[in-house]
Every structure is written in structure tokens, then in C-alpha cells.
Amino acid sequence: MKIITNPMNTKMKITTNNQFRPILHWHELTEAEQKELDMYDDVQESSFFRYRDWCYDLCDFWRTDSNDNWKDKWDGYKTDSYFSAILVKYSDCGEALHVGLATC
């Protein structure tokens, strides 16, 4: 776990189990997950992963940039609430993700 400070000077706690999660394709999702995620025409071309009993679409994530506090360790994020975000880091082979939860 690492604690960092964001631009508003509040501390962010990042929680992760340091395990990689496989990147999934449409045909690897359950019928229930497909029904939940079938929101746009080309969703079947997206990539997904499971985290904390939920299936996430990687198209919903923002790429970190030079202004983000997470740019050195994480490749992308998706806000989960006003006080939290899901963080992702691609493996070297690009077939799995390291996932974290940032909270303040």
C-alpha cells in the first residue's frame, strides 16, 4: 500500500493485492456480464477484467498523463466515486492488469 498526495493536498490510499488479472474478451464473459455491458455497438471489440465482484470495460478508463499523481506507477484510472478510483497497470506482455483502488 502506498499513500500519495493529490493536487488538493489530500492523501490517497492505494490498496492492491499485487496480483495480475487477465484481460478478457467478449466471448470470455458470462451471459450476465455481457447483458450488463452491452451498451454500444462495438462493445464486442472491447477488453475487460474482473475486480471486486464486478466486470470492467477498459474503454471506460482514462489514460494517465503528466499531470496525474499516478503517472509513474499506473497506466489508467476510472473514477469509482467522488472519493475513489480504480487504477490499472498493464503487464509487460499486455495480457494482464495490475489493479488498485485509490481512496481518500
Structural domain count of the chain: 1
pLDDT tens string, the chain, 104 residues long: the values are 444 445 455 677 889 998 999 999 999 999 999 988 887 777 788 999 999 999 999 999 998 877 666 667 899 999 988 899 999 999 999 999 999 999 98
pLDDT in the model for residue 1: 46
DSSP conformation letters of the chain: -EEEE-TTS-EEEEE----EEE-B-GGGS-HHHHHHH--STTGGG--EEEETTEEEEGGGPEEP-TTSTTTTT-SEEEEEETTEEEEEEE-TTSSEEEEEEEE-
* Spatial distance between the Cα atoms of 13 and 31, rounded to a whole number of angstroms: 34
CA angle 33, 101, 92 (to 5 degrees): 80
Show the domain range for 81: 2-103
pLDDT in the model for residue 69: 67
pLDDT in the model for residue 67: 64
pLDDT in the model for residue 2: 47
pTM for this predicted structure: 0.80
